[in-house]
Amino acid sequence: MTDEPTPLFTIHGDAIIGPTGRPKREFPEPSVLTSHGPARVIAMVNQKGGVGKTTSSINLAAALSEYGRRVLMVDFDPQGALSAGLGANPHELETTIYNVMLEKDVTVADALISTHIPEVDLLPANIDLSAAEVQLVTEVGREQVLARALRTVRDDYDVIIVDCQPSLGLLTVNALTAAHGVIIPLVAEFFALRAVAMLKDTIEKVQDRINPDLEIDGVLVTMVDLRTTHSKEVIQRIVEAFGERVFETVVKRSVKFPDASVAAEPITSYAVKHDGAKAYRQLARELIHRGGSP
């Protein structure tokens, strides 16, 4: 990992070309909201681990909150990385998303935790959630359990971000069924592209059979090292595969991200002026500009 400055654009004639090969745009400051809700639900999905799902979930939420958006974070991974990254101890949690989904007398409000990030709440998870995959199999409407739970709090938030586990099992299908949009984080490495076809197939099946309103909000290229030809070639391949769905914002590889994770802080507050913080603020503006967030 590196923090050495690397230009995020090149000059081509009169145009400034961004890392995705398209003319670089400046996304405007979002307008101030006069009220909150109903929330747009976004699933952060990739069945491959280590692509930056949790890091991107936390930092996107923090950036959106800076722009006045009220955000609910849903930890949907039994490893509880999102919960830990927001300062909760997964092993000490008594009520989690698992209880909300599988116990009739437990509501989202019973499990909510306020985080140290203003306007950001957490619906936590721990290892208990791993049992849900098996238990949901016998449930009627098993793909829609999360959607029913989140419906009770949608009016309280502007955005709900569901940080999914690295698999395409029933939990991920629940997240896709509950979501309006999907963000796919992708590492700028060739092997990361191989699993995307399977993910696209799963998304299309959910669109066709359960949730016709689901759409891909964007593909986020993470852990980029623009000093290497490899990264540039991979970004080009990703743009060829997804076209305009690829966010213009890319996130460079940096040692500051694991440092911020250890401190249980988003990079937007841990290193306010760092390139990583600027990238996630730009991503928030781009998402809002695209209509992926109020």
Structure confidence by residue, pLDDT tens digits, 234-281: 888 888 888 899 999 999 989 999 999 999 999 999 999 999 999 999
In a domain? residue 5 = no
In a domain? residue 16 = no
Write out the DSSP string of 19-31.
TTSSB--PPPPPP
The residue to which tokens 């039994």 are assigned? 78
Any idea what DSSP says for residue 23? B
In a domain? residue 230 = yes
In a domain? residue 188 = yes
In a domain? residue 135 = yes
Give how many domains the chain has, as a whole number. Answer: 1
**Any idea what the CATH number is for the domain that residue 51 is in?**
3.40.50.300
CA nearest neighbour of 135 among 78, 95, 202, 208: 78
What is the amino acid identity at position 187? V
CA nearest neighbour of 207 among 174, 177, 185: 177
User: Quick one: pLDDT at residue 6?
Assistant: 53
Write out the DSSP string of 202-213.
HHHHHHHHT-TT
**Rounded distance between C-alpha atoms, residue 74 and residue 64, angstroms:** 15
Any idea what DSSP says for residue 272? T
- Residue 74: beta bridge partners? 123, 162
Helical residues (DSSP H) of 13-129, grouped into ranges: 53-66, 81-85, 97-102, 108-111
In a domain? residue 90 = yes
User: Quick one: pLDDT at residue 168?
Assistant: 86
The first and second tokens of residue 288, run together, are: 């809002």
- Residue 182: beta bridge partners? 43, 216
User: Quick one: pLDDT at residue 12?
Assistant: 44
Per-residue pLDDT tens, the chain, 294 aa: give them: 455 455 555 544 445 677 777 777 888 888 888 899 899 999 999 988 888 899 999 999 999 999 999 999 999 999 999 999 999 998 899 999 999 999 999 999 999 999 999 999 999 999 999 999 899 988 888 999 999 999 999 999 999 999 999 988 999 999 999 999 999 999 888 777 777 878 888 999 999 999 999 999 999 999 888 788 888 888 888 888 888 999 999 999 899 999 999 999 999 999 999 999 999 999 999 999 988 788
150-187 tens-digit pLDDT = 999 999 999 999 999 998 899 999 999 999 999 999 98
pTM, to two decimals:
0.91
Domain that holds residue 238: 36-290
In a domain? residue 284 = yes
CA nearest neighbour of 162 among 257, 251, 82, 70: 82
In a domain? residue 86 = yes
